[in-house]
Structure 1
Amino acid sequence: MKIQRPRRSRHSWLVAMGLVGEILVTLAVVCALYIAWQLWWTGVESEHTQLATRQTSSWSDPGSANGSVKIATAQKGDPPEQPTGAKVGDLIAQLYVPRFGSAWSRNIVQGTTNEQLARHGVGHYTNTQMPGQIGNFAVAGHRAGYGEPLAHVDTLKQGDAIIVRTKDYWYVYRYTTKKIVLPTDVSVIAANPTDPTSAAVKRMITLTTCEPRYTEATHRWISWGELEYWAKVSDGIPKELATSSGTSAVKFEEQSQGSVLARLSSLRPVFAVLLIAYAIIYLAALAVWRYPALRAIRSGAKPRPDFSLYGSLYRHQSGIAPIRWLLMLVLGIAASAAMFEWLFPWMATNVPYLQLMSNYVSVQ
Structure 2
Amino acid sequence: MAVGLADVSDDVEYATPPAGGVPGRGAGRRGAGGPDGRSTGRRVVSQVAGVLAEIFLTLAAICALYVVWQTWWTGVQAEHTQAQQRQAASWTSPASDGTKVAPAQQGDPPVQPTDPKYGDLIAQLYVPRFGEGWARNIVEGTDAAQLARHGLGHYENSQLPGQVGNFAIAGHRSGYGEPLIDVDKLQPGDPIVIRTQDYWYVYTYQRYQVVDPTDVWVVAPNPEQPGSTPTKRMITLTTCDPPYQVATHRWISWGELKYWAKVAGGVPQELATQDASGAVRFTGAKAESPIAAAVGGSLAPVVAVALLAWLVLAVAAAVAWRWPALRAIREGRRPRPDVSFYGWLTRLMPGVLPVRLLLVALLLFAAAAALLEWVFPWAASTIPFLKAMSNYVAVS
Query: Do they superpose with TM above 0.5?
Result: yes
CA contact under 8 A between 2:76 and 2:291: conserved in structure 1? no
1:33 to 56, 65, 69: 65
CA shift for structure 1 position 341? 1.3
Where do 4+ consecutive residues of structure 1 move more than 6 Å? none
Does structure 1 residue 50 correspond to structure 2 residue 82?
Answer: yes
TM-score (norm 1): 0.95
Give the unaligned 5+ runs of structure 2.
1-15, 33-39
2:149 to 108, 112, 119: 119
CA shift for structure 1 position 27? 1.1
CA contact under 8 A between 1:275 and 1:334: conserved in structure 2? yes
Aligned residues, how many? 360
Q: Any idea what the Cα deviations from partners look like across 1:329-360, whole Å, max 9, x if unmatched?
A: 11111001111111111101110000001041
% same residue: 56
Does structure 1 residue 2 correspond to structure 2 residue 17?
Answer: yes
Question: Could you say which structure has the larger radius of gyration?
Answer: 2
Q: Any idea what the Cα deviations from partners look like across 1:57-110, whole Å, max 9, x if unmatched?
A: 13111275xx23111111111100001111111000000000001100000000
**Cα distance in 2 between the residues matched to 1:302 and 1:68:** 75
**Cα distance in 2 between the residues matched to 1:180 and 1:332:** 43
CA contact under 8 A between 1:291 and 1:319: conserved in structure 2? yes
Q: Any idea what the Cα deviations from partners look like across 1:222-270, whole Å, max 9, x if unmatched?
A: 0000000011001110011112425224365xx3544333451421111
**Cα distance in 2 between the residues matched to 1:259 and 1:70:** 29
**Cα distance in 2 between the residues matched to 1:59 and 1:297:** 67
Q: Any idea what the Cα deviations from partners look like across 1:161-182, whole Å, max 9, x if unmatched?
A: 1000000000000000000000
Aligned residue for 1:243, secondary structure, equals strand
Task: Please name the residue that 1:194 is paired with.
Answer: 224
1:344 to 355, 376, 390: 376
1:214 to 237, 244, 264: 244
**Cα distance in 2 between the residues matched to 1:231 and 1:276:** 54
**Cα distance in 1 between the residues matched to 2:361 and 2:170:** 40
Change (3 A) 1:19 1:63: closer
CA shift for structure 1 position 158? 0.6
Q: Any idea what the Cα deviations from partners look like across 1:174-217, whole Å, max 9, x if unmatched?
A: 00000000000011111111101211010000000010011000
1:250 to 273, 280, 283: 283
Does structure 1 residue 177 correspond to structure 2 residue 207?
Answer: yes
2:388 to 343, 356, 359: 356
CA shift for structure 1 position 134? 0.3
Root mean square deviation of aligned Cα: 1.5
Does structure 1 residue 101 correspond to structure 2 residue 101?
Answer: no
CA contact under 8 A between 1:141 and 1:209: conserved in structure 2? yes
**Cα distance in 2 between the residues matched to 1:349 and 1:114:** 10
**Cα distance in 2 between the residues matched to 1:39 and 1:117:** 15
Does structure 1 residue 12 correspond to structure 2 residue 41?
Answer: no
CA shift for structure 1 position 323? 0.9
TM-score (norm 2): 0.88
Task: Please name the residue that 1:301 is paired with.
Answer: 333
Tell me which moved more, 194-203 or 255-264.
Answer: 255-264
Change (3 A) 1:17 1:63: closer
CA contact under 8 A between 1:210 and 1:219: conserved in structure 2? yes
Task: Please name the residue that 1:287 is paired with.
Answer: 319
Aligned residue for 2:273, secondary structure, equals coil
Aligned residue for 1:112, secondary structure, equals coil
CA contact under 8 A between 2:380 and 2:391: conserved in structure 1? no
Aligned residue for 2:280, secondary structure, equals coil
CA contact under 8 A between 1:63 and 1:70: conserved in structure 2? no
Aligned residue for 1:138, secondary structure, equals strand
**Cα distance in 1 between the residues matched to 2:291 and 2:280:** 26
CA contact under 8 A between 1:216 and 1:359: conserved in structure 2? no
